[in-house]
Amino acid sequence: MNLFSLRTGIGYDVHRLVPDRDLIIGGVKIDFHLGLLGHSDADVLLHAITDALLGAASLGDIGRWFSDKDPKWKGISSLYMLSEAGKMLRQKQAKIISIDSVVICDRPKLLPYIPDMKLNIASALDVPADCIGIKGKTSEKLGFVGAEEGIESYATCLLAVGS
């Protein structure tokens, strides 16, 4: 009998919006006058998804594997970190069933970029794009997101882990 267990994971991330940085979300460079600040490319969505996957597989969080104190990871593509997390999951016989996520910002509008984000994530993780959900939500101009001081993201995932 083929035994497996189902595991959920949750991830959250936030990065500050600043001038003179590219805005990269879901591995897509987005045309905007501000970008996200971080040690890596500061891809807030991919960091939330990576944390959800690592958490579901009991592999800690993104900082455990890609410390923002380590100069080796400066400017690194978050798609690379996501794909490395995917490899770690495969080594644990953990199969990704679904990922769902939300990115919260009032501007820019993310909808036109979501198909490319899904393709990037599907390719990095070697999963079908239709098991990935990405939603852009606004903050109704409330709080730090509404003030365009930062962008935040939440992600969940469901894994089937072999035993």
Residues contributing to the site for Mg ion (CB under 5 A): 13, 47
Nearer CB in complex with Mg ion: 125/152: 152
Whole-number minimum distance, CB 154 to Mg ion, in Å?
Answer: 13
Which residue's Cβ has the minimum distance to Mg ion? 47
Nearer CB in complex with Mg ion: 13/152: 13
Whole-number minimum distance, CB 73 to Mg ion, in Å?
Answer: 11
Nearer CB in complex with Mg ion: 47/118: 47
Structure tokens at 86: 């995917």
Looking at the DSSP assignment, which residues form a beta bridge with residue 95?
160
H helical segments located in the chain: 44-56, 62-65, 78-91, 114-125, 143-146
Q: How far is residue 17's CA from residue 152's CA, in Å, rounded to a whole number?
A: 10
Whole-number minimum distance, CB 62 to Mg ion, in Å?
Answer: 7
Nearer CB in complex with Mg ion: 37/161: 37
Whole-number minimum distance, CB 48 to Mg ion, in Å?
Answer: 8
What residues contact residue 41 under an 8 Å CB cut-off, 6+ apart?
22, 24, 75, 76, 77, 78
